[in-house]
Amino acid sequence: MEALTASSEGPMAGGPMVNSMSTSGNLPDPETEQQNGISADEIALYDRQIRLWGVKAQERIRSAKVLLVTVKAIGAEIAKNLILNGIGSLTIIDNGQVIDNDLGAQYFLRDEDIGLNRAQAASTRLQELNPRVAVIPDISDVTTKGPDFYSSFDMIIATDLPFFSLSLINAAARMAKRPFYATGIHGFYGFIFADLIEHEYIIEREQSNRSTAVTSESTTRSIISVATKKENGKNIELVTKREAYTPIILANSSPLAPEYLKNRRRLKGVTPLLPALRALWDFERNTGRFPTHSREDLVSFTTLANEKLQELQLPVDTLKSDFLRSFMQNVGSEIVPTAAFVGGRLSEDAINVLGKREQPIQNLLLFDGENFQAPIYALHPIFEENGTAQQLPPAPPVDAGTMPQGNVDRPQGVNGGSTVSQNELSTMPSAPVGASQAQETSDHAGAGAATGGVVEANGEIDLS
């Protein structure tokens, strides 16, 4: 999907045309809708999206109060999209200050904002996008907030935070019974995690010859009701579904769904970004930071990456040297294209959730910008009959002591961990340290790529 770039004509520039959607069709009568809270001016402003998803969905979106945590590159993209789609209010909580690196990827900041609070600096320009939406900056520390704070919002979106902070906010959002999203980007890579607790939504489609049964579709999805209506001479089916979700702290240790574990072909197709991201989260949770270029971090991250590979029961050749080289170079950096895609995809999902339409992300989307892939994995714990979560098989020990000796020569300022050998590191080009170096990043794959290579359990890379 393209990033949302809404204008007064509708929510998605270059998106699907009005007549391609099977929705309500004609615009509502302005006088009738004024009684329901939507003015004639708003009908004109949100003309296209009302045609796309109907006035009821727009009413829900219009009254929604959304909390956005941190407003860096991806946060700015999400804020822009939600504001242009006409939510009720957007509270941006960020106690960080604007620094030089923010200017390359966060296009709502300027040179004169350096040293100012990031939420306050961005909010002024975000407000100009749509005066009908209340944009509220909050300069406090989000990790000090309790469930009562989150209960005043209809949705919480946390961006660019350590795994521990994401887990805390997710837990508080669950206690407040509010849908939660987590997202972040690392150069050409990114993720979206959704915990909507329990979410009901409507799929609207043309009725087929076979009737839709009220039944369970999967372990997390059920059809709870089916209704029909006539529209433009066609029979339209409205299928109401319910999705059940898992908090991020459990999803991070959950196995792949049985349809992967029982199918070797599907298992071989799982992206290596899954074990790499889990390893990064564990490293971050253990140390409170991203891995650096030190030998100690190199050994630690390599060990974690191999453990995650084993825990997920993935083939040994899933983690290859060229991918790990690229991932290591990208950790901690921001580039606009990735922020646009991942932020646009999350915004689209959030709008659908607020409007209670279309199937949402279930539950982890991983974006690989190198290969332009964005698979979604449903990660949920498997419970035993006694109600306890089934334990994953223990990973075999990893002999990190067999890593190559010697100092690792990494480009100055690169904030990334390594799972490759010293010889491999010596062939690597400079990695991005901020969005201002996006052009340098775009051609790093060709500058230092090597062919093949599987990461062995001892942390070495076999290039044979």
pLDDT at 241: 96
Q: Which of 63-67, 105-109, 276-280, 432-436 has the lowest mean pLDDT?
A: 432-436
Tell whether the model's pLDDT for residue 440 goes beyond 50.
no
pLDDT at 401: 35
pLDDT at 49: 74
pLDDT at 15: 35
pLDDT at 430: 34
Tell whether the model's pLDDT for residue 457 goes beyond 80.
no
pLDDT at 37: 66
User: Quick one: tokens of 324?
Assistant: 């790990």
Tell whether the model's pLDDT for residue 216 goes beyond 50.
yes
Burial 404-423 (b: 16+ CB within 10 A, else e): beeebebeeebbbbbbbbbe
Q: Which of 31-40, 132-141, 205-214, 349-358 has the lowest mean pLDDT?
A: 31-40
Tell whether the model's pLDDT for residue 363 goes beyond 80.
yes
Tell whether the model's pLDDT for residue 104 goes beyond 60.
yes
Place of tokens 């995809």: 345
Q: Which of 136-145, 390-399, 424-433 has the lowest mean pLDDT?
A: 424-433
User: Hey, what amino acid is at 82?
Assistant: L
Q: Which of 26-35, 81-90, 148-157, 222-231 has the lowest mean pLDDT?
A: 26-35
Confidence of residue 442 (pLDDT cuts 50, 70, 90): very low
Strand partners, 228: 237
User: Quick one: tokens of 451?
Assistant: 């062919």
> Residue 90 and residue 351: Cα distance in Å, rounded?
13
**Tens-place pLDDT, residues 323-343:** 887 888 899 999 999 999 999
For residues 12-31, average pLDDT: 37
> Residue 37 and residue 86: Cα distance in Å, rounded?
14
pLDDT at 427: 37
Domain at 18-196+335-377: CATH architecture: 3-Layer(aba) Sandwich (3.40)
| Ranges in the chain annotated CATH 3.40.50.720 | 18-196+335-377
Highest mean pLDDT among 22-31, 40-49, 221-230, 301-310: 221-230
* Residue 442, CA distances (Å) to 271, 334, 336, 341, 343 in order: 20, 12, 11, 15, 19
**Tens-place pLDDT, residues 49-82:** 777 767 777 889 999 999 999 999 999 999 999 9
**Tens-place pLDDT, residues 244-259:** 999 999 999 999 999 9
Q: Report the relative pairing of strands 180-186 and 189-195 from DSSP bridges.
A: antiparallel
For residues 352-372, average pLDDT: 94
Average pLDDT, the chain: 78
**Tens-place pLDDT, residues 396-437:** 333 333 333 333 233 333 233 333 333 343 333 333 333 333
